[in-house]
Amino acid sequence: MLKKIGQSVIFGLFCAFLILFVAPLFQNVGVFTAFNQKEIISYNSAVKIASPAVVNVYSRNFSPEHSTFEVENLGSGVIMSSDGYILTNKHVIENADQIVIALQNGVISTNVKLIGDDSFTDLAVLKIDAENLPTIPQNLDRKLEIGDVVLAIGNPLNLGQSITQGIVSAIGRKTLTESGRQNFIQTDVSINQGNSGGALINTAGELIGINTLRFGKNTNELSEGLNFAIPINLANQIMNKIIKDGRVIRGYFGVSTDLLDTAKMQGYEKGVIIANVDKNGPAAKAGIEAGDLVLKVGNIDALSPSQMMEELAEMTPYTKVKVVVQRGDQLLNFDVTITELQAQ
């Protein structure tokens, strides 16, 4: 009997030792954090860095009936320079008689100049007269990864500035517009009317994109958790071109490609297969036909449909370029005069 009592006492002391000395070790690795956590995960510091540079954008049209301007559309914008250049979506300010910018410090500007816009990327550049405006830091060397936590800042439904949180679901989405020239960041961040043109930031408060749309053309097609932003490197390129020329000047080749019918799928090692040719375009006038395999444009190898189209878009209009094409067993050379791509 005494032996059993002694064993029970020893076992009890052993359990007490575990509780007093071993349990704190597990607490450090998170086993008991639900009961003892003193700090919470917060993105407040990132929001403090970025939110002052996100503005509310209102598109107003004149109403003859009321003899006044009335808000027809709303969105958000991002201050890109301390002297007042602002990026937003083209669809936010399209056909507006007057654009109004509301800064987060309460200042309202009705003297807003539209510098230019771009239909292919749905971006527009605005300018207000101001100095020492807040901007959002950018780190173009930081690689965006699928699964990164991101925050959207905007003015959904005109409720006032709001923050929503999600993750990066995918990058490099290129097939969401008719032109196929977009390069979206896909996220599950909540986006509503009024968020368009606002900032997408990472948890360091760095600007990584311009929120632009939800997937779907109407309310029946809209999907939950399927939203898109324009990467900031592309947005910067478009903005700088608009500031320089008032528009984005792109080269036009006059062909389309099929992303599902690639050269490699047909057994070719490289090249881009032409799916359709604009009969009035530069390629057709030079003699290029649907079904041709483009191997080289100038000094640049044609590696993929998106890569080739991007290279062509960067070419200066009305310059002549040599295009190497394989047609059956023949290797052909064409001199193509690139023209300017016109927005439809």
Residue 245 has pLDDT above 70, yes or no: yes
Q: Which is more confidently placed, 32 or 75? A: 75
Tens-place pLDDT, residues 198-223: 999 999 999 999 998 765 544 455 56
Tens-place pLDDT, residues 51-71: 999 999 999 999 888 888 899
Written as one string, the DSSP assignment of 174-231 is --SSSS----EEEE-----TT-TT-EEEETTS-EEEEEEEES-SSTTT--TT-EEEEE
Asked if the structure places residue 6 within a domain, the reply is: no
Which 3 state secondary structure label does DSSP give 117?
strand
Q: Percent of the chain scored above 70 by pLDDT?
A: 82
Q: What pLDDT, on the 0 to 100 scale, is given for residue 67?
A: 86
Asked if the structure places residue 293 within a domain, the reply is: yes
Residue 98 has pLDDT above 60, yes or no: yes
Residue of 293, 315, 314 lying closest to 305 (CA atoms): 293
- Structural domain boundaries, residue 93: 47-127
Instruction: Point out the catalytic residue in the list 91, 119, 162, 190.
Output: 91
Q: Which own/partner contact pairs does 330-338 have at CB distance under 8 Å and 24+ positions apart?
A: 331/295, 332/287, 332/292, 334/283, 334/286, 334/287, 334/288, 335/286, 336/253, 336/282, 336/283, 336/285, 336/286, 336/288, 337/282, 337/285, 337/286, 338/251, 338/252, 338/253, 338/282, 338/312
Asked if the structure places residue 141 within a domain, the reply is: no
The answer to whether residue 66 is catalytic is no
Instruction: Point out the catalytic residue in the list 118, 122, 162, 190.
Output: 122
Q: Do residues 336 and 255 both lie within one domain?
A: yes
The answer to whether residue 117 is catalytic is no
Residue 31 has pLDDT above 90, yes or no: no
CATH number at residue 81: 2.40.10.10
Q: What pLDDT, on the 0 to 100 scale, is given for residue 39?
A: 79
Predicted TM-score (pTM) above 0.85: no
Q: Which residues contact 264 (CB under 8 A, 6 or more apart)?
A: none
Number of folded domains that form the chain: 3
Tens-place pLDDT, residues 143-185: 999 999 999 999 999 999 999 999 999 988 764 444 455 678 9
User: Count of alpha carbons within 13 Å of 211, Cβ hemisphere only?
Assistant: 35
Residue 89 has pLDDT above 50, yes or no: yes
Across 124-128, 257-261, 264-268, 288-292, which has the greatest mean pLDDT? 124-128
Q: What pLDDT, on the 0 to 100 scale, is given for residue 183?
A: 79
Find the mean pLDDT for residues 117-142. 95
Residue of 126, 134, 81 lying closest to 105 (CA atoms): 134
Instruction: Point out the catalytic residue in the list 59, 119, 196, 292.
Output: 196
Distances (CA, A) of 92 to 25, 77, 315, 331: 55, 9, 29, 48
Asked if the structure places residue 68 within a domain, the reply is: yes
* Residue 90 pLDDT level (bands cut at 50, 70, 90): very high
* Tokens encoding 299: 């000094």
Q: Do residues 255 and 336 both lie within one domain?
A: yes
* Tokens encoding 77: 């914008």
Q: What pLDDT, on the 0 to 100 scale, is given for residue 182?
A: 64
Q: What pLDDT, on the 0 to 100 scale, is given for residue 261?
A: 64
Residue 121 has pLDDT above 60, yes or no: yes
CATH number at residue 333: 2.30.42.10
